[in-house]
Structure 1
Amino acid sequence: MMMGGDTAMAAARIDRKPSIEFEPRTLTMDQIQFAREAALYVMNTRSMEAALSVFTEGLEPVVGTVARRNGSAVNWMEMMSEEEQYFGK
């Protein structure tokens, strides 16, 4: 059961924003809108494969990601197919 002070604290927690919201913006809203429109144009005028190539050109997989499985270190990159490494499928 919440008391009067607890209600204010709960409301404050709801209003919290992720820390990313406090980072300086790299693009203006106009630039973001232009990028969205350009992406939509590519999606509407290219095949799925060509659009995927446009959006992923220059990306490289993360190398050396290590996790634990049953107590021993596992390199996730060794467990993933090449497609999963590039596209996260």
Structure 2
Amino acid sequence: MEESTSVIRMGRLSSIEAEPRTLKVDQIRCARVNMLHYSNMFYNKQEAAICVMNTKTIEEAMSIFTDGLKPVVSIARQSGISISDSGEEFEVSSKLLRIPGLRDIASAPF
């Protein structure tokens, strides 16, 4: 005697299948075409960035990627943050970066 392990469907629909559709088939197709178009645009930009990284020097690549960017200085002035450009990275004033000492695990707040 063989036992069947297959599941017998009782004609029930999952809750999502019972919900009314909000988009028509042509609207879904249009959304898929747009999604493919935008994903191809992203892929091409990513591919171009990789090409720049592989074919240019670090200085040339940095110039290409940062061309047209402007520093945001006015926000730092309004909030009173002191920022200095050290050439490679920004350093924030040590007054704002207070690192607490090591705490015992049992006393650390969660």
Query: TM-score, normalised on structure 1?
Result: 0.49
The structure with higher relative contact order (CA 8 Å, sep 6+) is 1
Larger Rg: 2
In terms of fraction of residues, the more helix-rich structure is: 1
